[in-house]
Structure formats: structure tokens, C-alpha cells
Amino acid sequence: MRTIPPVCPEPESGMKYWRSLDQLADTPEFRQFVEREFPAGASEMEADPVTRRHFVKIMSASFALAGFGLTGCRKPEDKILPFGQQPQNYAHGVPKFYATAMPTRGSALPLLVKSHDGRPIKIEGNPDHPDSNGSTDTFAQASILNLYDPDRAQRFTQNGNDVSREAALDFLLTLGQQSNNGQGLCFLMERSSSPSRARLQRVIADKLPSARFFVYEPVDLDVAGQVTAQPVRPYYKLDQAKVILSLDCDFVGGESDTHLHCRNFARGRRITKPEDNMNRLYAVEGVMSLTGTNADHRLRVPTSVVQSVASGIGGVLGVQVGAAQRDASP
């Protein structure tokens, strides 16, 4: 809110400035405009400084009362209780480090978690793991926020309505008893390598043998299994490659085993001796990605043209690309 300073009691001296010709003329229209710009008591504040001071006191009291009214928005108070059984080698204020693993689509990411009083605060790769060597990806770094996300799932719902924990468990128990060994019962899940989920799935399958489990992923990254028709996974040794060609593949950003690809790719670009040479990365893609950003040479083409580019490169190298697809096509 704009305030008008009080009138100076000293006589005016020196040059006098005005903002407009209307202010100089001091017409009734200008006075009316000023009253509309500073409504409800503006002229009173200008004429009587005591009234202005009283107004400031009232506003200060109003803000103070509003602060008392907002106490209900604060975090709930939690009492600090001592351990029922003191953990071994535990000291308050000293962080603890735990070795764990984060399940991914088809494997797991070895991690080292820093925790303060039972609250994880930092995630890094496990430097003692031979396949990780302390590397992580963006998903692992962001996973720590899931523990403190206020929008995470904290309640049970049925048909869009909130239900209690007991009601949800009773519904599941009734569903298991009345489903005729799981007939017509289906579970829709995402791909995961978690051993705990696999164990739970085996327990449900033993009790409900007719139940069916389905796995859905919006993007299928199992390209090697489709090409070779075998349950195999490629293992890329980017640290030993001198020339890398990425065909619409963001192996630095969002592909599987990104943590390993980033670390090995960085190793191939590290120079320790004068005779060392960095690897060269060529990227062919339709949308800018982290891999294309780090590429030495990037070719932007529509995604539908990437296969033609691969065929052209294969022809130069003497490799037939896409022959299996052409033979299998009608």
C-alpha cells in the first residue's frame, strides 16, 4: 500500500517540481483522482499524522492476530524419545552409511546411503562394487525425494473414496476368499527386479493359483531380446571403445544401466598421458538428448529416417542392417 508522507512544517524554498500539469493547476478533477487513487482515509493520513500512526498500530495488531491464527498450519510437534534398545556404535549427530541396492527394470543399482538419525539424506554409488565404481544416475539421485514427498500415497482408496487401513485389508482378505482360487483376478505391474516383489508374487501364486500377473511398460527397452530372440542383455564396454555411434539412443540420459554407461563413457574421454586419445561420439537422433549434447558430431534427422541412416552406415562398413526385418516382412 502506498503512503503519503506528512506535510513538511518548514517553509518551502528552492525549485518546486510537479508531476503533471493537472497537479500544477490543482483542479477539482485532479483532487478527485487523487482521492480515488488513495481511497478510504488517504487524505486523513496526509492531514493528521497521529491518525496515520493509529492506523499503523491497528494494522500491526491485525498482523499479530493473524500470526496467532496461523499456528494450526505449522508442523505437528513430535516428541523425541530415547531408544528402547540402543543400536551398536550409535552416536547422535554422527551420520551412518548403509550399502543397499535400488531395483531397476532389469537389474539393480548398488548404492551407498548417508543417514542422519534414521533419515536418509544423500545417495551415492557404492565405490566398492565392481560394476558401479561409485556411479549413479538421475533417477537414483531423485529417489531420495520420494521419502519426503508430501504427495506420496499415504491412504487407501476404493472407487475413488478414502477407506481405512482395516477396511482395505478386510476387502483384500474377502477378495482372496471369494475369488475361487484367483479365478478372474489379475495383477497389473511394472517391470522390476526386486526380489521382495518376486517372493510376494510366489506367495500369492501359491494361494491363488488361477490369478494372473501382467507386466506393462510404456517403453520396451528389451531390444536385444527382440533381435536375438533369446533372453540376453548386452553389456557395453564404452570405456574401451574409440568410436561410438548412437542411433536415437540416449544411453547417457534415460536408457537402462545409465549409471554404468556414463562412468565408462567418461573414462574413455579421460586423458592421463600425452599419447592418449579421447573417444569420439557420433549421435543420430530426432530430439535433443543428453547423449546428443555430449556428442562430438550430432546429426538431427526425423526418427523415421534413423533406420535409413543405419542402413547407409552399414552399407559402407559392409554390414547388412535390417535384413532380418525385410526377410520377415510379407
Q: Encode pLDDT of 32-62 as tens digits.
A: 777 666 555 555 545 455 566 677 777 776 6
Q: Of residues 218 and 211, which shows the higher confidence score?
A: 211
Q: Is the pTM of this model over 0.85?
A: no
Residue 328 pLDDT greater than 80, yes or no: no
Angle at 70 between CA 67 and CA 78, to 5 degrees: 115
User: Which tens digit of pLDDT belongs to each residue from 131-166?
Assistant: 777 788 888 888 888 888 877 777 888 888 888 888
pLDDT at residue 202, rounded to an integer:
92
- In this prediction, residue 228 has a pLDDT band, given cuts at 50, 70 and 90, of low
- When mean pLDDT is compared across 54-63, 187-196, 221-230, 260-269, the lowest value belongs to 221-230
User: Which tens digit of pLDDT belongs to each residue from 278-304?
Assistant: 899 999 998 898 899 989 999 999 989
77-86: average pLDDT? 77
210-233: average pLDDT? 75
- In this prediction, residue 330 has a pLDDT band, given cuts at 50, 70 and 90, of very low
Looking at the structure, give the CATH architecture of the domain made up of residues 96-148. Answer: Single Sheet (2.20)
Residue 197 pLDDT greater than 80, yes or no: yes
> Quick check: 114 and 122 in contact, CB under 8 A?
yes
Question: Which sequence spans correspond to the domains of the chain?
Answer: 21-61, 96-148, 181-218, 229-320
CA–CA distance, 33 with 17 (Å, rounded to integer): 19
Burial class (CB within 10 angstroms; exposed 0-12, middle 13-18, buried 19+) of 198: exposed
- In this prediction, residue 267 has a pLDDT band, given cuts at 50, 70 and 90, of confident
Its sign, for the CA torsion 304, 309, 312, 318, is negative
